[in-house]
Every structure is written in C-alpha cells, then in structure tokens.
Amino acid sequence: MKKPLVAGLAVLVLAVAGGGWLLSRDRAGETASAAPARGASGAAGAGGPPVSVTTVVVQKRDVDVMLDATGTVTALNSVDVRPQVASIITKVQIKEGQFVRAGQPLFTLDARNDEVNLTKARAQLAKDQAALADAERQLARSQDLFKQNFISQGAVDTNQTLVESSRAVVAADRAAIESAQVGLSYDRIVAPTSGRAGAINVYPGSTVQPTGPALVTITQLDPIGVAFSLPQRNLGEALATLRSGGGKVTALLPGSAGGIEGKLQFVDNAVDAASGTVRVKAEFANKDEKLWPGAFVTIRLAVQTLKGASVIPQAAIIESPRGKIVYVVDDAAKAQARPVEVVYATGDNAAVTGLRPGERIVLDGRQNLRPGATTIERSPEGGARRRGGAASAASGAAALVPAADARGPAAPRAAA
C-alpha cells in the first residue's frame, strides 16, 4: 500500500511543476512581445527604436543687441507763420498740403500805406540832400572869403556846422527809407523754412494781426525725428552709442513688414525723476514720407553687436531641471544633450554659447528623445530618412512597424 501511494504523490508533484513551468514561459513570452509596443509609444533611450525628428544647422552671424521702446514721430522743425503787422490779406499764394521751399511767397498783405511811407521817405531824402549840397557850397565860399580876410573865422565855423547837421539829416533820411522798406517787406510773407504746409486759416480779404492765430504751419518732414524714452539702466549704453556716431536705430510702423533705419541724435541731460527714464531722439531720412508727425512707432536701438554668434531657433531650446539644453545630432545619428546659455534672444531666434556653427540640432521631436537615442530625420515631404551609418536598415524598419503588429509573434507561441 505504501509504494503505490508514494508513486502517486511523485506523479502529482511532477504534474504541478510542469504546469508552473509552462505558465511562466507563456507569461515571459507575452512580456517580451509587449515590450516593443511600449517602447514605440514612449520616449526612446539609448538602444531603443529610432525617433523621427527634424534638425536645423547652427548659424554663424553678427547679431545686433537691441533695446525696444515706443516712440512718437516729431518734426525737427515746425514753424507757425504769423503776420508782423496788422493788415488785410490780398493774396494767398499756396495751397493746403503743398510742399514749400524757404523764401517762397506764401501771402501778400495790403501794402498801400507802406508804399506811400517809402515814397515820402525817399522824397525827404532828396530834399535834405539838396540842402546839404547848398550848405557845402556856402562853406566853400566862406573859406575863400576867410583867406582874403573878408569874413571872420566865426562865419566859417557857422557854415561848417550847417554842413555837418545837413549830413546828419541825410543819414537819418536814409535810415527812414530802410525802415519803410522793412515795413513794406512785412506785407510779403515768405516761407521761413522748407517743409509741408498745413491747413490755411485765412483767405483774401481776411484781417490779420500779430496776436491772432497762425496763418499756416510749415512742418519739415525730411529729415524727421522720433522721440522715445529709455530706462535709466540703459543710459550708459545710449550715451556710448551716441558718442560712436549714433549707431543704428530702426523704426517699425504698425502693420508694416520692413523698418526705417536712422541714427541716434540726442540724449537728454537729465533723468525724469518721476518715471526713471531719459528722453532720447533719433533722426531718420523720410523722402517717401512714411513717418508722419504725431504717429506712434516701435523703436529698436542697436547698442551692441555680437560678432560671429551661434544662432539657433528658440523653439529648439529645452528647459531641463539643470538648465537650458538642446539635442545635438552627431554623424552617427545619435542625439546628445548639450547645455547652452542664451546670450540674447530676439524674435524666433537666440544667440547662444555652447554650440559650434555647422552643428545640427533637433527642432521637432525633441520631446521624445533621451541622450544617446538614435534619430531618423524627417524629409520635407513628411517621410523619414536615416542619418549616419551606425543604425541598420532592419532596426529602421522595426521603428516604423505599428504598435498593434508588435504583438504578432506572441500569439503563435501562446498557441503552441
């Protein structure tokens, strides 16, 4: 009885052990077949499937360090034209919005009274010149008679005084003529400077006076200025730029793709205590009249130039717990994490240190990378192409297999 019992127990133990071995083998097969699927859906590390990425080349170029501010376009020269005498407008010789040059006639006033005064002054001069001539003749005769002892020295001195007083009267007459000519010139109003005429506020027949409103405003448009303010911390940079010749200032108009370049012209001699800013002005050529007085523009002042900087897209930079990094793709198509430091960022690009011009960095697909991962660079058409010769074509094909097909080999083993 004991021998059959022992034999039965032994068979039962062997059956349990065999069943456990088969169960563990099936579970191991399922785990092995599921691993590629998880690798395909997660981030790839070293030894994992290649990751599809796009890369860009690190560029080497000079980068201008800019200070941005909002500025207001201001005319460098603007003159309100007013009459210097009270009179009546007889003629308007310009049109509103017309460009005028310095010295060009603008308005004519009623000049009849001033013309009469000038004629009167000239007539008085002629009269006094005749009196002077007679006094000089009298003096000459008295001097001859004095030499012949017919008159005394007192008579000669009297004639000499008459001549000198007549000469003074003639000089006063000439001054009166000049004064009358100045008064007459006020009746002809000319442009004091070149520029564009604004609205004309008078018409022929209008009465004008010096204390009244301006007849017209002449505004210089070329060149033109832009006034803006900079924080006090940038005062040193602005002064250095001014001393170096004005540097490069770019004015950007709203809705305009291009900018207008000018140079720094003026830095105020005091910082505004209320705002902590200093007032600055730049000058721009404005032949096409894109800049208009009173308009708001965005100003970019170049205060420094980074020579031969390494420039990359800002989108390629990753914020990691240890700082900023980018992924560099080497000749073997391996992605290597490289720490970088942003020196200056503007727009979509950034000048950085830690990279060499000509290196290729990952732009799209960087979120799926780990250091040492193999990459496949996507072509512009959306496909993928391999870089480097280290990875085999078989591994590249495996990376493109859908996750659902990766379970295929496990099913036959489970069936067996």
On average, the pLDDT of the chain sits at 81
Q: How confident is the model at residue 44, as a pLDDT? A: 53
Q: How confident is the model at residue 166, as a pLDDT? A: 93
% helix, strand, coil for the chain, step of 5: 35, 35, 30
- Which CATH number describes the domain made up of 46-63+309-391? 2.40.420.20
Give the whole-angstrom CA distance, residue 303 versus residue 306.
Answer: 10
> Range(s) for CATH 2.40.420.20 in the chain?
46-63+309-391
Does the domain at residues 66-76+218-306 carry the CATH identifier 2.40.30.170?
Answer: yes
Per-residue pLDDT at 257 exceeds 80 = no
Helices (H), 82-152: 112-147
Q: How confident is the model at residue 394, as a pLDDT? A: 34
The rounded Cα 256 to chain-centroid distance in angstroms is: 12
Farthest-apart Cα atoms in the chain, separation: 198
Give the whole-angstrom CA distance, residue 306 versus residue 346.
Answer: 13
Per-residue pLDDT at 38 exceeds 70 = no
The rounded Cα 27 to chain-centroid distance in angstroms is: 68
Positive/negative CA dihedral, 127, 128, 132, 135: positive
Q: How confident is the model at residue 263, as a pLDDT? A: 92
Q: How confident is the model at residue 213, as a pLDDT? A: 92
> Range(s) for CATH 2.40.30.170 in the chain?
66-76+218-306
Give the tens place of pLDDT for each residue, 102-155: 999 999 999 999 999 999 999 999 999 999 999 999 999 999 998 988 888 998
Per-residue pLDDT at 393 exceeds 90 = no
Give the list of residues 6+ apart from residue 144 with CB closer than 8 angstroms, or none. Answer: none
